[in-house]
């Protein structure tokens, strides 16, 4: 090899020369036999290897493979795939163990700061476990102010007949004789579960739709909140009727799920959220209930309601600890 520019032939073929270098090399190659031979040799090498045959397949075989692929994908969506690869299963267990050790060693989610105001003979007690703070409200009326939660922190109010989970909010709860009478949200979003209602309440909303305003009373502060708390970034939602989800006209789960998917696919996420909520409520044992629960969270996220999405995602993770949508749910939950 005697041409000092021969090395540029590869760079030219690879597209690594800038425009001026490329033009310069091409002018040079026009008069250089050695570089022309090198370019031809590089092209011939690719052509020879590219000509190697690929295993043959008929159109019928291709269609069968397509059908089989879709069947396997559908199966994976509705069931958990059993671990058939022992090596992968072992590696997964190892990764989980290491992750648990790492999480505990390096990072503990901070316990949320919150304030409880006793408005009328509130009977409540505090139970904190690491980053999950639980307040049991047995009776009376109490106002809650919860600082915006970080990482894996959670705040739950246990009611005699249900529960409330929040992401950073202000709300008032009234419990009488073991029954939750009202929940009023003034800031943020809560996920409320009581008999007859399972859904999100945004700032400005209340459950049930009409309720007497709570009386005022003394204040009890727990785990003193910082001087400045982040204000709720969630705009008040239009007052709706949270306790009333449109009665389904189709009783069977298949058409109900299909309707919800249609709403989701067409971008009507508010309706999709309602329909998925109804599906989960009416068909909790259906194989698609897991998807429906996750898609509720995704619908809220696409509506811009990140706090609501996080709450619903957290519920999905609790309900399906090994669920297929776990990675996506963790992302929505902010973990």
Which residues sit at the interface with another protein, rule CB under 8 A? 10, 14-16, 41-42, 45-46, 48-55, 57, 62, 65-66, 68-70, 72-74, 76-77, 85, 87, 261, 264-265, 291, 295, 298, 328
Q: Report, in Å, the least distance between residue 45 CB and another protein.
A: 6
Q: Report, in Å, the least distance between residue 297 CB and another protein.
A: 13
**Helices 326-333 + 306-319 axis angle, to 10:** 140
**CB closer to another protein, 230 vs 304:** 304
Q: Report, in Å, the least distance between residue 67 CB and another protein.
A: 8
**CB closer to another protein, 29 vs 172:** 29
Coil, strand or helix at 123? strand
Q: Report, in Å, the least distance between residue 261 CB and another protein.
A: 8
Between CA 296 and CA 286 the distance in angstroms is 16
Between CA 142 and CA 246 the distance in angstroms is 31
Q: Report, in Å, the least distance between residue 138 CB and another protein.
A: 42
Nearest residue to 135 (alpha-carbon basis) of 110, 151, 152, 112: 112
Q: Report, in Å, the least distance between residue 313 CB and another protein.
A: 13
**CB closer to another protein, 42 vs 217:** 42
**CB closer to another protein, 76 vs 239:** 76
Between CA 157 and CA 172 the distance in angstroms is 11
**CB closer to another protein, 92 vs 176:** 92
Between CA 290 and CA 77 the distance in angstroms is 10
Token pair of 49 as six digits: 């290897």
**CB closer to another protein, 71 vs 108:** 71
**DSSP 8-class letter at 130:** T
**CB closer to another protein, 119 vs 277:** 277
Element (DSSP H or E) covering residue 20:
helix 19-30
Residues of the chain by 3-state class (helix, strand, coil), percent to 5: 40, 25, 35
Q: Tell me the CA distances in angstroms from 206 to 186, 211, 265, 305, one per residue in order.
A: 9, 8, 30, 17
Q: Positive or negative, the Cα torsion across 127, 149, 224, 130?
A: positive
Q: Report, in Å, the least distance between residue 70 CB and another protein.
A: 5
């Amino acid at each position: 090899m005697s041409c000092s520019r021969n090395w540029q032939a590869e760079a030219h073929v690879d597209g690594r020369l800038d425009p001026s270098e490329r033009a310069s090399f091409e002018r040079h190659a026009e008069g250089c036999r050695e570089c022309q031979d090198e370019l031809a040799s590089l092209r011939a090498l690719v052509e020879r290897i590219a000509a190697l045959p690929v295993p043959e397949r008929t159109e019928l075989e291709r269609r069968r493979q397509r059908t089989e692929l879709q069947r396997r994908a559908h199966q994976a969506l509705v069931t958990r795939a059993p671990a058939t690869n022992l090596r992968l299963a072992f590696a997964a267990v190892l990764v989980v163990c290491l992750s648990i050790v790492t999480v505990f060693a390096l990072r503990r989610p901070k316990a949320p700061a919150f304030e409880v105001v006793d408005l009328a003979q509130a009977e409540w007690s505090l139970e904190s476990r690491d980053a999950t703070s639980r307040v049991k409200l047995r009776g009376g009326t109490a106002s809650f102010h919860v600082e915006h939660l970080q990482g894996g922190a959670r705040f739950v109010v246990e009611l005699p007949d249900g529960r409330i989970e929040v992401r950073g909010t202000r709300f008032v709860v009234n419990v009488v004789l073991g029954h939750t009478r009202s929940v009023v949200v003034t800031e943020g979003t809560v996920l409320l579960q009581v008999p007859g209602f399972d859904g999100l309440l945004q700032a400005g909303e209340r459950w049930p739709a009409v309720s007497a305003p709570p009386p005022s009373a003394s204040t009890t502060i727990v785990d003193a909140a910082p001087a400045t708390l982040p204000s709720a970034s969630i705009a008040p939602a239009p007052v709706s009727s949270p306790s009333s989800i449109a009665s389904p006209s189709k009783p069977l789960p298949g058409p109900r799920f299909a309707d919800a998917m249609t709403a989701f696919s067409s971008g009507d996420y508010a309706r999709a959220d309602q329909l998925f909520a109804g599906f989960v409520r009416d068909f909790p044992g259906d194989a698609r209930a897991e998807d429906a629960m996750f898609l509720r969270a995704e619908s809220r996220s696409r509506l811009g309601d990140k706090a609501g999405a996080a709450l619903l995602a957290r519920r999905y993770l609790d309900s399906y600890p090994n669920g297929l949508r776990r990675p996506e749910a963790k992302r929505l939950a902010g973990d």
